[in-house]
């Protein structure tokens, strides 16, 4: 029995139908799905409230048992925080949260690396 908790950055809080957010730090919510043996068995939304450090939302997700984060873009500080807590970061090509999770489960994903991180700043086009 394999269980994973997958968080996906979302522009709106509409569950699996939410569009994937273009940037980790600017997302409105994290849609957290519990996946058992390749099947989504639970979906919850965690609002991305204000935070004092880039590591704060990463640490919150880790404390909830999330082990995979799917996003389109991410800055260096939250990426390093994710690495420190053992959170795998996967790059999404867009679409909905549900589509991003299904692509990940099918092995159709790219792990994020330092080379593909955002430089920080207000405008991001992914």
Residue 72 CB partners (closer than 8 Å, separation 6+): 9, 20, 21, 22, 23, 91, 92, 93, 94, 126
Strand order in the sheet with 68-71: 39-47, 29-36, 3-10, 68-71, 88-91, 110-111
* 121 within a domain of the structure (yes/no): no
Residue pair 66/92 in contact (Cβ under 8 Å)? The answer is no
Check which CATH number belongs to the domain holding 12 and give it: 3.30.420.130
> Does 101 fall in a domain?
yes
pLDDT 10s digits, 81-108:
999 999 999 999 879 999 999 999 999 9
Confidence of residue 109 (pLDDT cuts 50, 70, 90): confident
Confidence class of residue 125 from pLDDT cuts 50, 70 and 90? very low
Asked, for residue 25, whether it belongs to a domain, the answer is yes
> What is the residue range of 97's domain?
3-115
> What number is the average pLDDT over the span 8-17?
96
Axis crossing angle, helix 76-84 with helix 55-63, rounded to the nearest 10: 30
Say which residues have a Cβ less than 8 Å from residue 98's Cβ, sequence separation at least 6.
Answer: 16, 17, 40
Q: Is residue 120 part of a domain?
A: no
User: What's the pLDDT at 124?
Assistant: 42
Whether residue 8 is contained in a domain is answered as yes
Number of domains in the chain: 1
Read off the tokens for 107. Answer: 């092995």
What's the pLDDT at 121?
46
Residue range 24-69, pLDDT digits in tens: 888 999 999 999 999 999 999 999 876 667 788 999 999 999 999 9
């Amino acid at each position: 029995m394999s269980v994973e908790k997958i968080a996906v950055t979302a522009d709106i809080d509409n569950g699996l139908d939410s569009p994937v957010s273009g940037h980790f730090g600017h997302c409105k919510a994290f849609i957290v799905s519990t996946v058992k043996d390749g099947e989504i068995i639970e979906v919850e939304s965690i609002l991305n409230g204000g935070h004092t450090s880039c590591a704060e939302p990463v640490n919150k997700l880790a404390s909830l048992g999330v082990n995979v984060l799917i996003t389109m873009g991410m800055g260096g500080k939250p990426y390093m925080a994710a690495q420190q807590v053992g959170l795998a970061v996967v790059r999404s090509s867009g679409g909905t949260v549900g589509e991003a999770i299904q692509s990940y489960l099918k092995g159709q994903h790219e792990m994020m690396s330092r080379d593909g991180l955002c430089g920080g700043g207000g405008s991001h086009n992914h």
